[in-house]
Structure 1
Amino acid sequence: MSTRTLTEELWASIEPIYAEILAHPFLGGLTDGTLPREAFRHFVVQDSHYLRDYARALAVCAAKAPGEEDVRAFADDAVGALAAEQGMHAEFLTAFGGSAEEAAAEPVLPTTRAYTSYLLATVYGGSFAEALGAVLPCYWIYARVGEALLAQGSPDPLYAKWIATYGDEAFQSVVRRVLALTDRLGEELSTAERRRVVEHFRTTSRYEWMFWDAAWRGERWPV
């Protein structure tokens, strides 16, 4: 058995990926205010699509969770994901002169489709531990990015608001709760299942980088 906690093993597995995330020009543009508005709009629209499926994934985690408190917590997080999509994103889209309804009618683009398809296949088809590994990067990486970007701030009020959402203590406390559950669960896993959890975690962490990169590139369906 590993002497490291599961969260220690998970984070060690993505340190190079996280370094690439922090170095990405999309995040740099958020903090120095130079990110093109169209890139941010692309991100917000695709994130709205993503969060609807992420909420479904969290609901499946709630159904598979081992204890009543965990069921309640993941169900609450699923509701919270939808609330973020309906509230914060609607506010951002209004700032762009559009609406949530218009954004919902826009296509789900390749990286978003790939990420959510992988996420849903894993949570439906795998164990609770595997499901947790797959959904965890969206919690944890955003918390770490939020902390890092909050320390830098942004001269752009719109970008500063986005940064504050994930750097905020309320979000950080939710992530700490999920990480504590991850370590409790890690004590009970076989070596083989632990390996599967790490693989899912690393895969969806890569998708997190790809999601920001897709917005930066203005990704569209090629045909």
Structure 2
Amino acid sequence: MSRFRDELWQVVGGVYDQILAHPFLSGLTDGSLPREAFRHYVVQEAHFLPDYARALAACAARSPEPSGVQRFAGDAAMTVEVEHSLVVELLAAFGLDEADARKTPAGPTTVGYTSYLVRTCSLGTFPEALGAIVPCYWIYARVGETLLGRSSPDPLYAWWIDTYGGEGYQETVAGVLDLLDGLVPDGEERHRLLDRALTTARYEWMFWDAAWRQEGWPCG
């Protein structure tokens, strides 16, 4: 029996394949990723996560059902508590704290991605918000699950892989996908949901690519 998640994955799966083939992720698994590229990623995550939590909270506010309110409000809090804690510990591995991280400005991709998420979840319909949010969960879960099978000789990279490939995160994502399957948008609303999902998936690729390139602002 076909589920709505399957239709969404048909839209974003091609981007996921490109993400998985990206040298940032292949470098995580074989240990060849330059530490400076990973440092850039962690610093940008420190900028990204607070706005991601705001987007989740806005998604909760848009939900017409209590189950959606509970899910996304809870996950907003979990993002601040769990994923934020991981970033703090990863920063510490580089001898940094959050104040140090914020001395480096959020890069163009980070600003674009967070702005898109917060705007869509705050101003769009609930299906649009859900479309924007689901790839953030699902792509990380699929990446984590896949890389977990490959592991990494670098303990810092293995730690990151274990977090997103681990059972706790996978269960969280499964709950979001069940909620997605319970939504049955049609017509233009369905198109908008899938369009938002594709845009977010592209931003996921761009975020890792920005870390790989150690992207900065071109002027100023």
Match of 2:159 in 1: 161
5 Å matches for 1:11-90?
11-90=9-88
Match of 1:140 in 2: 138
Aligned length: 219
Q: Is the 8 A contact 1:43 1:215 kept in 2?
A: yes
Secondary structure in 1 matching 2:208: helix
Hey, what's the Cα distance between the residues in 1 that align with 2:63 and 2:13?
28
Q: Is the 8 A contact 1:52 1:85 kept in 2?
A: no
Q: Deviations over 1:150-203 (max 9, x none)?
A: 000000110000000000111101101100110101x2x122100100000000
Q: CA deviation at 1:14?
A: 1.6
Match of 1:171 in 2: 169
What stretches of structure 1 of length at least 5 have no aligned partner? none
1:211 matches 2:202: no
Aligned residues with identical type, % of pairs: 56
1:198 matches 2:194: yes
What stretches of structure 2 of length at least 5 have no aligned partner? none
Q: CA deviation at 1:67?
A: 2.1
Hey, what's the Cα distance between the residues in 1 that align with 2:196 and 2:154?
35
State the TM-score, normalized to the length of structure 1: 0.95
Q: CA deviation at 1:5?
A: 2.7
Q: CA deviation at 1:6?
A: 1.9
Q: Deviations over 1:19-59 (max 9, x none)?
A: 10000000011001111111001001111111110000000
Q: Which amino acid aligns with 2:47?
A: H
Q: Is the 8 A contact 1:110 1:221 kept in 2?
A: yes
Give the alignment partner of residue 129 of structure 2, picking from 128, 131, 139. Answer: 131
Hey, what's the Cα distance between the residues in 2 that align with 1:174 and 1:210?
24
Superposed CA RMSD: 1.2
Q: Is the 8 A contact 2:56 2:72 kept in 1?
A: yes
Q: Which amino acid aligns with 2:193?
A: V
- Shifted more, 198-207 versus 60-69: the winner is 60-69
Q: Is the 8 A contact 2:49 2:84 kept in 1?
A: no
Match of 2:218 in 1: 222
